Structure 1
């Protein structure tokens, strides 16, 4: 991998990690179109630490309040007394499904499911599900019923959105896409669904990134170029990711996810055409 490739892949990761269009899909598709080698699941997981840093920086006050409340609740013997503490434990519970399925299907996630056919299918199918969720939200608003805020998220929402996050193990699904879709299906406002999506991603992304970093540490140290490329890609992902979070939250205050639905459908269809024509290999 060249330095230019590392920068571009970091840019792609930062831009697409939080938009519901799948960063993994783009990190797989764009190198294939450009004739580069697949950077691999390990590289993807490691540079996600950059976007993890972006989430932690953007939501630093929320995260600090949650951690402080969780610790205080444990010390007092009343772990669910405060709203912030309860949110922390709900995030932990919502992380269990992706950890369990990630360990169970680790080999398939890193091999078979990285096929561009799987990715194109995931782009299209999840676009249709997100479209259904938007239709449900639109109908609810037309009936004059309010949408749920972050403060109204309960255990049911946390666990079901956690299950939706596990679907993102299929490349092309999009972690933010599946969790935002899950939130909308559970009647959360678009902004609340996105905010909870980002907070929910923290434990899983951190665990996956550190695990892959540990597993490939010897390979990384074998070549100084590997270290430089990973650092550059990760830092690029962090900067661009921070801007992407701000952009998406601002956008969802006034707009639907229709633009992302259309993009997913177009990208999935274009990928199938390229595969069918033999322009790229699956």
Structure 2
């Protein structure tokens, strides 16, 4: 996707989300305000695609702002979270459309020939294999994760621990591309991706870490991480769309916040992809290591001073 197109689409998405927010489109009393959905959409788009944990930030921002609606409406919160992920999936899909189409063709070709011969065919199967662990574990342990993980103090610890793991992995030589990986190594990246079900780990962060540990260059690790997002989020969007939206009973006034959140996430997600890919061609991932450590320290400081409770 050309840079000018990226900025045009991102700007249009963010502008439309802002206009809907100001107009109060679809907003009803007692539901999530559009302005909070707008802020969380921007946060989601940036933090999902940068290795700093979107799920952690989507908890920390309401915690710091004392926004209680999502905390008090857990079913709405989980579905809204998936809606925000839809925005980042659309960002990745738009940015890497040509790559995704070619990978889909390559995968279908292997089904017809029953052979894996080209680099694209290998990468397509790596994505399939790497998707399985996170999809399976997410389906089996969704309720356990929602009930026992995601407290601010836990997020702080995971941000710090996986910052150090990223720093160590990023010291590895840059000697490989995704097509050089084996399917077993792809499964390993998938198992690493499943760790991101814990808020504070970061899906992009842990998959980039796994890729760098296996010797992928920084650009390839980021690109492969972005491509892995599409099937996982698509599955979650379809599942939640059927169970919670079509068959469920969401509170009235959900349409406005959902639309605003998706548009804001799409816009900020496109900008995050464009910036990150340009940045890691010339730099290490150390800036994200430092950011994670600083945020972790600030969370613990806020808790220690009593400004906010350790739980949320």
Contact 2:123 2:178 in 1 (8 A): no
1:29 to 31, 35, 60: 60
2:217 corresponds to 1:189 = yes
2:264 corresponds to 1:236 = yes
Contact 2:158 2:201 in 1 (8 A): yes
Partners in 1 of 2:134 and 2:298 — Cα distance?
29
* Matched residues, number: 271
- What are structure 1's unaligned runs of at least 5 residues? 141-145
Match of 1:143 in 2: none
Match of 1:60 in 2: 97
User: How big is each residue's C-alpha offset from its partner over 1:122-164, in whole Å with a ceiling of 9 and x where there is no partner?
Assistant: 10110111111123x2xx4xxxxx5212332331331111111
Match of 1:246 in 2: 274
User: How big is each residue's C-alpha offset from its partner over 1:153-196, in whole Å with a ceiling of 9 and x where there is no partner?
Assistant: 33133111111101101001000000000011111111111111
- What are structure 2's unaligned runs of at least 5 residues? 1-31, 71-76
2:191 corresponds to 1:166 = no
Report 1:38-57 matches (<5 A): 39=70, 40-57=77-94
Match of 2:13 in 1: none
Per the TM alignment, residue 79 of structure 1 is displaced from its structure 2 partner at its CA by: 4.2
2:245 corresponds to 1:219 = no
Per the TM alignment, residue 38 of structure 1 is displaced from its structure 2 partner at its CA by: 6.2
User: What's the C-alpha RMSD, in Å, of the aligned pairs?
Assistant: 1.5
Partners in 2 of 1:173 and 1:273 — Cα distance?
20
TM-score, normalization by structure 1: 0.91
Contact 2:45 2:265 in 1 (8 A): yes
Per the TM alignment, residue 100 of structure 1 is displaced from its structure 2 partner at its CA by: 2.2
TM-score, normalization by structure 2: 0.83
Per the TM alignment, residue 213 of structure 1 is displaced from its structure 2 partner at its CA by: 2.6
